[in-house]
Structure 1
Amino acid sequence: MKFNFKNTLILIAFLTISAPLFANNNPKDNDPEKDKVLVSVLNYMLSRGHFVEKNIDDDFSELVFDSFIDGLDPSKRYFTQEDIQVFSQYKYQIDNQLKESDISFYKLVYGRFTEQIKTAKKYYGDILSDSFNYKKKEEIDLDYSEIPFALNENELIDYWRKQLKLQTLGKIQEREEQEAEKLKKNKKFKKTSFRKIEAEARKEVLKNMEDLYMRIEELEHSDWFSTFLNSVVSGFDPHTSYMSPRIKTRFDQEMSGKLEGIGARLQKKGIYTHIIELVSGGPAWKQGELEAGDIILKVAQAEKEPLDIVGMRLDDAIKFIKGKKGTEVRLTVKKKLDGSTKIISIIRDVVELEETFVKSTVIEKNGKKYGLINLPKFYIDFKDNNYRDSAKDMETEIERLKKEGVEGLLVDLRNNGGGSLKTAIEISGLFIKEGPVVQVKYRGEKPVIENDRDDKIQWEGPLVVMVNEFSASASEIFAAAMQDYKRAVIIGGNQTYGKGTVQKVLSINQFYPKYDKDLGFLKMTVQKFYRINGGSTQKEGVYSDIAVPSRYSYMEFGERDMDGALSWDKVAQADYTQTNSYNNFADVVYNSKDRVNKSKDFQLINNYAKWLKENQDDTTYSLNYKEFVKENKDQKTHAKKFKDVFKFSSKLKFNSPKYELPLFKQDTILKDKRVAWHKNLSKDIYVNEALNVLSELKMKKEVALVKN
């Protein structure tokens, strides 16, 4: 089945169970004492530190009950109504159990689920061993939130049958389309019989299921228990979560944009660990022998005995491959090209994840130069204050663009999910003289105003900020500050994500120091932040000065669509002064809105967004072969109307800043990435309109301060 929006729903629904919710019942990993300690300490931390004072009562108990069961079985493929009835004895007792560090509910559900995981192999094996009845008039609804649990095991098996049949239909159609294309190109091509295609499709679905359950069996009790703990802590709000030590390590890497190791992305395929990509500039890339597609068989620490990692879970294999800067790792590798086995020695080092960091480009438009800075995340290294962070890098990048002679600056925050509050405040300060940037409030306390205290302005010229529906948290702090000061024009989706809360990551062990095992971390919502105008960005987000249609315009997502999201409210306005920077702010905004409304390209995008919404709402699929094919044919016919929806060319020229040019001679991968980025920017209708806005903005010669 060719990729389209509707079909992604099938994939998402079918692969939901591959999330880290499952585990084999591994006695070695089971530590009842640790589980009880975790429940006790988390209860203490949440009751005293979370922004919301939550009643741990029957309503909370019911919420945890539903969340945990839905988290384990979102596709209704494991539990029956009989199981739910058994579980229900604890539906209004979980609150009492949590207070007593009693995990009887968890153990009951956990035990039943591990049994069903084992049974599932028989279900899908038996079902896929024979052909389906494709003439039968039946359908499947993938909106599982509206579907009851199976009445009994027979109905449960039928749920499985329908889901596997849907997957098989997709494979059949995909294969038949491929053969039809071959027949067009070669009239002598002999098409494969439907019977053979159908058998091969079932075989492929079976392999996918076996691979999936191999990954499930690699997971451990701690993964299961983490799921239960997250069902509990997320009852306070959607952004509060339990982080195991392994997840915390990943979190730190994402926030800092760096790690220590060999600089290779790995993936588990079957029983083997494959090299997927080398990180440009990393130790493996510099060493030169390791390549994408190679398979790692053994890992040795310098001259020590090598450890066989074939069949090892990926997270465990990574532990042995990663290591401190300056240490040696020797990999026994099966080479992709000739299948030979080779031992490759690599000295580990700090690896910077280049896609995390700020990057910029210079655009030529109507004889003038403009700078675009892409900020993918508000990154910071909490452990090393001297290491690069997004604020330092932004300041450096602006200075470089000033040397290029740019006359306006475009900051791209699209898809930036946030990060460090500290760097958001500091980056805001690069564009204003001084003053409040955001207000932060703890539970039961008055808001604290966080100020930019440096009167230096790094960029005084025209400024446009691009956002979209995925710009969140720290992105919203920056965009809101620029909007409230009237320092920048905000252009993007109707509103940003709407995450107006602040989380702090706390070591659980610090609240129970006498316990010697690593209990992990709690990422807990401890504050809400507010704009300097007093309004919260919670749920509302930041409304764009210029709203442009996007594929997400009619979709339901964002903070306002999350269960348990904290409410919007407001506090007193801070004492601040707007920068009266532009002669023609209102005119520029009006002109842009007029262009967008009259643009056939944006009209097409808007119609496309409506069509995507219709597809999102339509979750029912026919399992009759002829009707299935017809549905997909009709959808593709409709989709052709939108085949050129993002076929746009600005004809603008994008160039890397001069400081990057010498780097390209050493790093061709970096050069290729920049070439691809510039190519995409030249086709980006949103960047084009943002540059139109930027080019029209006129600064006042003498910027006055207007009291707000």
Structure 2
Amino acid sequence: MNAILTFMKKNIKIIAFVAILSAALFSFFPKEKSDPEKDKALLQLITFVIEKGHFDPKAIDDEFSKTLFKSYIDGLDPSKRLFLQSDIDEFSKYETLLDDQILGKDLSFFDLTYDRLMQRTKESQSYYKDALAKPFDYTQEEVLDTDYEKGPYTKSTSELKDRWRKQIKLSTLASLTDKLDFEKKKDSLSKTDQKKLKKEDLEPKSMVQLEKETRENSLKSLDEVYTFMSELTREDYFGIYLNNIAENFDPHTSYLAPEDKEKFDVSMSGKFFGIGARLQKKNDYTEITDLISGGPAWRGKELESGDVVMKVAQGNEQPVDIVGMRLDDVVKKIKGPKDTEVRLTVKKTDGSIKVISIIRDEVELEETYAKSSIVEKDGLKYGVIYLPKFYIDFADRAGRDAAKDIKLELERLKKEGVQGIVMDLRDNGGGSLSTVVDIAGMFIKEGPVVQVKAVNQDKEVLSDVDKAVIWDGPLVVMINNFSASASEILAAAIQDYKRGVIVGSKHSFGKGTVQNVYELNRYIRNSSFGDLGALKTTTQKFYRINGGSTQLKGVSSDVHMPDRFSYVEIGERDVKNAMPWDKIEAADYQTFSIPNFDNIIQKSRDRIKASAQFALIDDNAKWLSKRREEHIYNLNLNKFEAEQKAIELEIKKYKPITTYKTNLQFQSLPYENMLMQKDSLLKEKRVRWHESLTKDAYVEEAINILDDMQNKGANKSSVPASKAKKGKIVGAL
């Protein structure tokens, strides 16, 4: 989970304090560029900034060393198919020494593990190639235990090779059973389905042929994985080590290498400067996978999905051959400042070579932005707003942000005469804290939205001070297990004010902490190391206006709807080093009152209880929870097939979950209908979204709740009482 919540406004003292000390500590950095010296500098700088800026910094001691050792080694080899037990024994000498190495800028542990990892990775290439060089014996009686966390490391190379063999055999076995099943169905395929296949695919194939195909496909896949791994540098792996150190303080503190910092900025703002194309690596070649709607490449209509980029040139400069180049490096060459030219030499799908000139421009990732739809039920219109994250461009406050977009969507929906709003925050991992305060303020006249507390400082109450209410009608907020951070603040505020109904998973993710992003270069004087990246560290905790934290506990839904993760532990509460839950004094706020609230909740619960769809979802959740505990796989073909058929029968039982269809019809707003006349890609995206909404039992129930809230005084503005008390219901909505 990447739930980020940044808030810079009130941390000037922390930043200034760290900056003053860092100027004194790091002014001696050598000017000559040396990777080991740069690594030492980063190690010192990161631990220093965390210790001075973190909300609750841990002592860097032997206990810290032990947990860091385990998380780092587990992360390097999670399936225990690289290191031998002898390697772990050698590494273990450092188990309680990492704290001393960090403080002493000693890189010997990292150097040892990195060198050994490179050695073992190179050796492992021969293991999978040897395993795939000859047919597997699928009549042999053997099993594979995939519970790697509890399993031991192998003691010898021969034992390690056998582990690789079994793992690859399991992979090919799964593919082989699919091929055998298709072979049986060939004769019964319809003529339409037959036309979709190549002639050679329709010809009968023997068991020998199919077995060989599975090994060839597996070899190709593993070769691609190892090609990607070969592109990783020592710097990449050192970034992993630094990240493990940072995350040992808490799950949301992390080191952002320069490339990761850039991706973070793009994810927060939803835009970047480039050509607007997505790329993927295929062996040594870089292929265009799709074009971003509205971007320069999309507007130019020359670049297409499937084109292979051979060379890249900046303006009138000579083109650079990018075949074999790392994907990240290719992206760097194609991206660039606004209004600059990049020329791509591409191989088209028909084999022709073409040079395409594109002028870089701002590219907006439309799927990261808010969108809305209208649905009718029993003659009344309702609006659904989906907000994937609380985005904002910190570098351009005049640019697009979630608060502006939500306000615009609300005004558009009001213009269309909707009688209720569903705010869909499912899978929303968070974003800007200031943005969520602005959005919450659109549903209340004024008042506190969230409380924020930094270490050794008094709490700060962040309030909506704008008395304007954009939407004062019926409101339902949808959450799930993956709604985190800023999503939880909004849901908690709506719940504490009794302004709307919270529906969805039993509870949200449970991330109640605030992170600041520190540019590391700002703390170094006269450094010649180049871009050192950034550090995202937890500096504050936030609290509901009722005083309780959302940390660990999250926000509990007023109406709990069964979902596939109902019986699986997911969220902050399941992370070992997560910060604890606590409570502070409640803020002063005036609550609203939803007439017949208890009756509305009960009616919804009754519908869910009587719903065959939700009963099936709940049963599926129990089955999935049970399946997660199964980790022993039979490598005998007949037994494996029997097990898979039993699983397939269970899966068929749950097929109605995906084929479910409501009687609701969703449509775009008028302004978007006009845009779609010129933008076929946008039209395709909205058609798909609306189709998914018609199959969504959760949205259907949210609309039912809005319907229950009608004509019961629930669409009138709040009437504040003259004497308000903390948490007391003093008004009517």
- The TM-score, its normalising length taken from structure 1, stands at 0.94
Counterpart in the other structure of 1:435: 447
Counterpart in the other structure of 2:243: 230
Counterpart in the other structure of 1:408: 420
> Which amino acid is the alignment partner of residue 718 of structure 2?
V
SS at match of 1:705: coil
Counterpart in the other structure of 1:602: 614
Counterpart in the other structure of 2:148: 144
Counterpart in the other structure of 2:556: 543
Count of residues in correspondence between the two structures: 679
Q: Give per-residue Cα distances to partners, 1:360-395, cap 9 Å, x unaligned.
A: 111111111111111111000010010010001111
Alignment pair present for 1:699 and 2:713: yes
Counterpart in the other structure of 2:437: 425
> Which amino acid is the alignment partner of residue 659 of structure 1?
Y
> Which amino acid is the alignment partner of residue 158 of structure 2?
N
Counterpart in the other structure of 2:23: none
In 2, the alpha carbon distance for the partners of 1:702 and 1:640 equals 49
- Sequence identity of aligned pairs in percent? 50
8 A Cα contact 1:29 1:222, kept in partner: no
Q: Give per-residue Cα distances to partners, 1:329-363, cap 9 Å, x unaligned.
A: 11101011x11000111111001111011111111
8 A Cα contact 1:139 1:622, kept in partner: yes
In 2, the alpha carbon distance for the partners of 1:447 and 1:140 equals 54
Counterpart in the other structure of 2:197: none
SS at match of 1:410: strand
Counterpart in the other structure of 2:168: 164
Q: Shift of the alpha carbon at 1:704?
A: 2.9
In 2, the alpha carbon distance for the partners of 1:407 and 1:380 equals 29
In 1, the alpha carbon distance for the partners of 2:506 and 2:401 equals 30
8 A Cα contact 1:374 1:412, kept in partner: yes
Counterpart in the other structure of 2:673: 661
Counterpart in the other structure of 2:699: 687
Alignment pair present for 1:357 and 2:369: yes
> Which amino acid is the alignment partner of residue 616 of structure 2?
L
Q: Shift of the alpha carbon at 1:661?
A: 1.8
> Which amino acid is the alignment partner of residue 537 of structure 1?
T
8 A Cα contact 1:539 1:558, kept in partner: yes
Q: Which moved more, 1:505-514 or 1:369-378?
A: 505-514
In 1, the alpha carbon distance for the partners of 2:597 and 2:670 equals 32
SS at match of 2:149: helix
Counterpart in the other structure of 1:11: none
> Which amino acid is the alignment partner of residue 535 of structure 2?
L
Counterpart in the other structure of 1:342: 354
Q: Cα gap change, 1:223/1:522 in structure 2, threshold over 3 Å: closer, same or farther? A: same
In 2, the alpha carbon distance for the partners of 1:378 and 1:648 equals 30
In 2, the alpha carbon distance for the partners of 1:479 and 1:678 equals 24
Counterpart in the other structure of 2:188: 184
Residue correspondence of structure 1 range 267-666 to structure 2 within 5 A: 267-336=280-349, 338-517=350-529, 518-580=531-593, 582-666=594-678
In 2, the alpha carbon distance for the partners of 1:393 and 1:190 equals 55
Counterpart in the other structure of 1:25: none
Give RMSD over aligned pairs. 1.6
SS at match of 2:657: coil
Counterpart in the other structure of 2:19: none
| Higher RCO, Cα 8 Å, sep 6+ | 2
8 A Cα contact 1:262 1:346, kept in partner: yes
Q: Cα gap change, 1:370/1:285 in structure 2, threshold over 3 Å: closer, same or farther? A: same
Q: Shift of the alpha carbon at 1:190?
A: 5.7
In 2, the alpha carbon distance for the partners of 1:157 and 1:311 equals 30
Q: Which moved more, 1:556-565 or 1:91-100?
A: 556-565
In 2, the alpha carbon distance for the partners of 1:674 and 1:519 equals 41
Unaligned runs of 5+ in 2: 1-31, 195-201, 729-733
In 1, the alpha carbon distance for the partners of 2:78 and 2:397 equals 42
Q: Cα gap change, 1:29/1:653 in structure 2, threshold over 3 Å: closer, same or farther? A: farther
> Which amino acid is the alignment partner of residue 563 of structure 1?
K
Q: Cα gap change, 1:590/1:343 in structure 2, threshold over 3 Å: closer, same or farther? A: same
Q: Shift of the alpha carbon at 1:282?
A: 0.6
Q: Give per-residue Cα distances to partners, 1:635-679, cap 9 Å, x unaligned.
A: 101211111123222221211111112211221111111111111
Residue correspondence of structure 1 range 8-47 to structure 2 within 5 A: 31-47=35-51
Match of 2:63 among 59, 63, 67: 59
In 2, the alpha carbon distance for the partners of 1:690 and 1:154 equals 58
In 1, the alpha carbon distance for the partners of 2:675 and 2:163 equals 56
Q: Shift of the alpha carbon at 1:492?
A: 0.3
Q: Shift of the alpha carbon at 1:215?
A: 0.6
Counterpart in the other structure of 1:5: none
In 1, the alpha carbon distance for the partners of 2:189 and 2:339 equals 56
SS at match of 2:532: coil
Unaligned runs of 5+ in 1: 1-27
Q: Give per-residue Cα distances to partners, 1:527-564, cap 9 Å, x unaligned.
A: 11110101110111100000000111111221111121
8 A Cα contact 2:33 2:528, kept in partner: no
Q: Shift of the alpha carbon at 1:123?
A: 1.1
Q: Shift of the alpha carbon at 1:203?
A: 1.1
In 2, the alpha carbon distance for the partners of 1:703 and 1:32 equals 63
Q: Shift of the alpha carbon at 1:705?
A: 3.2
> Which amino acid is the alignment partner of residue 102 of structure 1?
D
Counterpart in the other structure of 1:49: 53
> Which amino acid is the alignment partner of residue 658 of structure 1?
P
Q: Shift of the alpha carbon at 1:274?
A: 0.4
> Which amino acid is the alignment partner of residue 276 of structure 2?
G
- The TM-score, its normalising length taken from structure 2, stands at 0.91
